[in-house]
Amino acid sequence: MEPVTTIDGRAYPFGQKNVDTDVIIPSHWLKTITREGLGRGAFESLRQDPDNLFDSAEFTGSPILIAGDNFGCGSSREHAAWALLDLGVRAVIAPSFSDIFSGNAFKNGILTVVLPQDAIDRLVEVARTDPIHIDLDSQTVTTPFQDRFVFEIDAFRKECLIGGLDEVGLTMARGDAISGFEDAVRAERPFLARGVELAA
């Protein structure tokens, strides 16, 4: 994962609420067995409109997306995060995110920034004409007009994003603790420890 510190540039002033993962990447794009190339399918149904934001000369390639409440609701497909990444999006700012989407985004180095609706309204206004700056270290979103919005983020997520850390590797280093837990389960709740009988 690429380390994330600051994200700078134009932002799609999108603003829509309840944007589901079928809108972010329709299911027929899910038949891939790689993570690459999904940007072409991102927001496919919206991009049928020739005047859409994502293909406009002004906004295409913007690193930031500003959306409404409940962004990324629906399915667990990580393809939604891969599609945004392939489109060039490095941060999404919204009043709320689906739990699964924000986890997927984080694991791909996409920053999800939660700000209240009035801040979103202001940022959408600015984004129509000017760039936006996100600083993960100070947890702020700023504009060229002295706007400054502070956002919250889990300390652990922040550490992983800034360090570009591999979560699987971090957890594998805790192998002894996991083994100890498994021993305890075998003793106390053996029915959970026995799953599928596998042929040797």
Interacting residue ranges for other proteins, rule: CB under 8 A: 15-18, 20, 22-23, 26-28, 30-35, 45, 68-70, 73-78, 81, 96-100, 103-104, 107-108, 154-156, 167-168, 171-172, 174-175, 177-178, 181-182, 185, 189-192, 194-198
The Cα–Cα gap between 111 and 83 comes to 14
Least distance to other proteins from the beta carbon of 5, Å?
A: 20
Name the minimum Å distance from CB 181 to other proteins: 4
Helix (H), strand (E) at residue 123: helix 117-127
**Going by C-beta distance under 8 Å and a sequence separation of 6 or more, which residues neighbour residue 118?**
none
Pick 45 or 138: Cβ nearer other proteins: 45
Say whether 120 sits in a helix, a strand or coil.
helix
Which amino acid, one-letter code, is at 18?
Answer: N
Of the candidates 33, 97, 22, the residue with the CA atom closest to the CA atom of residue 67: 97
Q: Read out DSSP for 78-112?
A: THHHHHHHHHT--EEEES-B-HHHHHHHHHTT-EE
Closest separation in Å from C-beta 34 to other proteins: 7
Nearer to other proteins, 50 or 190 (CB): 190
Cβ closest to other proteins, residue 18 vs residue 52: 18
Closer to other proteins by Cβ: residue 2 or 197: 197
Nearest distance from C-beta of residue 184 to other proteins, angstroms: 10
